[in-house]
A = this chain, B = another copy of it.
Amino acid sequence: MRDPAERGTVRVGVLGCGNVGAALIRLVHDHADIITARAGRKVEVSRVAVRDLTKGRDVPLGADAFSDDPDSVVTAADVDIVVEVMGGVDPAKDLITRALTSGKPVISANKELLANFGKELVEVAETAGVDLLFEAAVAGGIPLIRPLRESLAGERITRVLGIVNGTTNYILTRMTEDGWSFDDALAEAQRLGFAEADPTADVEGYDAASKAAIIASIAFGAHVTQADVHREGIAKIIREDVVAAGDLGYVVKLLAIAETVDGSVSVRVHPAFVPKAHPLAAVRESFNAVFIEGQAVGELMLYGPGAGGGPTASAVLGDLIDAARNLASGGPGAKVGHFEERPMVPLDEVKSQYYVHLEVDDEPGVLATIAGLFGDHGVSILSVQQRGRGEEAELVFVTHIARTGDVMATIEAVTESGVVRRVGSVLRVIGEEHR
């Protein structure tokens, strides 16, 4: 039975006590005055599930609040709302499902889970009539999910471009501003704790792809999972690409892109040339930003820290106050909305400008031959620069907007033409379709 003295207090069970969990527990304690004013009732953390009970935790909670049995936290009578900050699919998915079906609102910061099982979990929440909120799952401290769901509820969003991985943005910033190599920048990111010892999830775009799936789902009301996201990382980006981008008026960024084209959806993660005057070009270091294009609103950008204990916990806390308020008023807040099955645009049909870097022999007729191959495949050239001489000669093309399939066919024909020594980078360019 609930202690009468505690009546009215919302009691929170936290699954996981890493950086985010510990920061959240401290925030709930330190900001109690603000939280009570905003939620209309007291909010306190009553239980915390951890893997290792012996580990010291710098949080204002007694030892009896901790358990190594997350199940017992979810089912505890003195837990009204569950916060899941443990990460991973298993056992988080089962724990969240159990909480929701027993009528307990859930706040999750788990991008992997939501990118793969978001539709299923949202349906469980809506059937149960309780909140499932996940602002912190994408772009950490940046308010994104709530603006997309609520502020832009009546907006026809056409495209979202996001810098949603801080590690890769840090690496690209070092390469761009300080002329570092990819390997040196990665090593420094690891030294600073921005990158994991195994950096694959960041560098190869898996992390960004899970966030792209969530963004596309919310922005378009479409059922998009991580498997639907075309993914290219930045490991093959070399200094020469970054320099060429600068010379042409661009900076290289790893973008998560979600767009609608005639009712179909395209979701992808890849490096791209971004015009220097574009607001995303000014997003430096490990910051994240999401650029939203809507029919009525035009262009918005939301910028901030994409990771870190404090920012992520701040986003979780905003959701927690919302859920606590809704619990008091007797129902969930805004519906997440439907996730309809929408056709995905095949990669070949995605349209983009391209940057193409070729090493060629400096002989008469080479440019004409290659330009002819672009033309044969319907790819129109915006600009071409010749650099170097003799064996060092290079051609740098920027195309107009073209079908990806046509560009890839062009590259194949160029490779087989015999006049090219090596095809260097082939990278997408953000620009013409935007301006």
Q: A302-B303, A310-B298 are in contact. Are A151 and B155 (CB under 8 A)?
A: no
Q: When each residue 290-305 of chain A gets 1 if its CB lies under 8 Å from chain B and 0 otherwise, what string results?
A: 0000111111111111
Interface residues of A in 117-137 (CB under 8 A from B): 135
Alpha-carbon distance between A153 and B34 when the two chains are bound, in angstroms: 8
Task: Verify if A31 is at the interface (C-beta below 8 Å from B).
Answer: yes
Residue of B nearest to A313 (CB): B296
Given contacts A300-B142, A315-B151, A334-B325, whether A156 and B221 have CB atoms under 8 Å apart is no
From the candidates B37, B40, B298, B321, name the one contacting A141 in the complex (CB within 8 A): B298
As a 0/1 sequence over residues 268 to 309 of chain A, the CB contacts with chain B under 8 angstroms (1 = contact) are 000000000101011110000000001111111111110010
Please provide the chain A residues from 24 to 67 with a CB less than 8 Å away from any CB of chain B in the complex.
27-28, 31, 34-35, 37-40
Interface size for A (C-beta < 8 A) is 61
Inter-chain contacts of A153 with B (CB < 8 A): 34-35, 38-39, 317-318, 321-322
A335 vs B34: C-alpha distance in the bound complex, in angstroms? 13
Cβ of A146 and Cβ of B150 under 8 Å apart? yes
The complex places the Cα of A283 from the Cα of B37 at a distance, in Å, of: 34
Tell me, rounded to whole Å, the shortest Cβ–Cβ distance linking A281 to chain B.
8
* Least CB distance, A253 to chain B, in whole angstroms: 14
Would you call A152 an interface residue if the criterion is a C-beta within 8 Å of the partner chain's C-beta atoms?
yes
Q: Which residue of B lies closest to A292 (CB)?
A: B304
Q: How far is the CB of A39 from chain B (nearest CB, A)?
A: 8
User: Is A387 positioned at the interface, with any CB of B under 8 Å from its CB?
Assistant: no
Q: Are A308 and B298 in contact (CB under 8 A)?
A: yes
Copy number of this protein in the oligomer? 2
State whether the Cβ of A422 lies closer than 8 Å to any Cβ in chain B: no
CB <8 Å contact, A37 and B298: no
- In the complex, what residues of B have CB within 8 A of residue A135's CB? 151
> Is A311 engaged at the interface, CB distance under 8 Å to the other chain?
yes
Residues of B contacting A154 in the complex (Cβ-Cβ under 8 angstroms)? 27-28, 31, 34-35, 38, 314, 317-318, 320-321
Q: A141-B300, A150-B318, A300-B302 are in contact. List 20 more A-B contacts (CB 8 A).
A: A31-B296, A35-B153, A38-B154, A135-B151, A141-B297, A143-B147, A151-B318, A152-B318, A154-B321, A155-B317, A155-B318, A281-B282, A297-B305, A298-B310, A300-B304, A300-B305, A301-B304, A303-B303, A325-B335, A329-B331
What are 23 A-B pairs with beta-carbon distances under 8 A? A31-B296, A37-B337, A37-B338, A38-B335, A141-B298, A141-B300, A146-B151, A147-B147, A147-B151, A152-B318, A153-B318, A154-B317, A154-B321, A155-B318, A277-B284, A282-B282, A294-B314, A295-B310, A300-B303, A302-B303, A303-B303, A322-B334, A333-B333
